[in-house]
A and B are shown apart, each in its own frame.
Chain A
Amino acid sequence: MARSATTTDAFNAVAEASRRELLDAIGDGEVTVGELVDRLGLSQPQVSKHLGVLRAVGLVLVRADGRRRWYRVNGAALKPIHDWARSFERTWNTRLDQLDDLLAELRSNQPQPPTPQPTNTETEHRS
């Protein structure tokens, strides 16, 4: 099956674990390629390749300082992922709130919880 290109959007870019680790390694600081090579134990070409993908989707920003290039995470580009993750939480909240309401109803009906009886007529007579 055809996979979306890694540079399609932020979701695809972070689909690979190495690039998530790279984002973590950069953290909220500003680092050079050399520092990332040291921290991650990857080769310089590997780090540069991953940085290229992250830059293409705007997840990483670069600043030139003389001959050095400093990389930092662009949090705003992570927002779509963050929003999606939150929507997942909202989905679960909706579902579990409904369970909450159901439980309250069942509890209020105890000690005779509803049973799927087709009828509830009082036709039973005891002698």
Chain B
Amino acid sequence: MSTTTGNRHGSAVVTLPSDTEILITRQFDAPSALVFKAITTPELVKRWWGFDTSVWKVCDIDLEVGGSWRYVIGEGDEEVAFHGVYREIDAPHRIVSTEAFEGLVAMGITDDPDSVASLNTVTLDEVDGVTTMSTLVQHVTKEHRDGHINSGMEGGMQVSFDRLEDLVTNAAA
């Protein structure tokens, strides 16, 4: 069927441009129009966004500026839900949207996940049939960042990978 499936598996690169940002970069052997379609069409999003164990409950995409999106997947007995609003849409090059994790309420971090939603910018750059997808996750406020840290999660993200790599490597030496 396909000819080059899987050649790039495991090649996503995660970096931390600043204290409040996360950047995920990945290349795909496909035109940007196809990548854009795959990340904005519910039937297609359901096939890649979750995990193998995920059971999709909701996958709504209202692809227009001011339109909203909401993904809900079941993981075991729990439901994991995210939603947001599209701020910019420039098919097939760029999408800017907010992303709020609804689980923050149950975690006691906030009563209003939207107030601490991150701003995600997806950029698709096609060169010679290869599309580089960059996902920049920008946390809106330091408070949100620190709120996440309270869950024992994002503390790790604040220290740069490279810095940690160096320190861990030094420790092992």
Contacts and interface: CB of A to CB of B under 8 A. Distances in A.
Nearest to A59: B167
B8 to A, nearest CB: 6
A94 interface: yes
B26 A98 contact: no
Given A88-B157, A92-B14, A106-B30, A15 B146 contact: yes
Contacts, number: 150
B58 interface: no
A34 B32 CA distance: 55
Given A89-B14, A92-B24, A103-B29, A23 B38 contact: no
B2 A75 contact: no
A82 interface: yes
Interface stretch (A6-14, A37-45, A46-54): A6-14
B39 A99 contact: yes
Interface string A65-101: 0000000011110111110110011001111111111
Given A93-B12, A104-B4, A75 B170 contact: yes
A5 to B, nearest CB: 11
B150 A4 contact: yes
Interface of A: 1, 3-4, 9-12, 14-15, 17, 20, 23-24, 28, 73-76, 78-82, 84-85, 88-89, 92-108, 110, 113, 116
Interface of B: 1-6, 8-12, 14, 19, 24, 26, 28-30, 34-35, 37-39, 43-44, 47-51, 108-109, 133, 146, 149-150, 152-153, 155-159, 161, 163-172
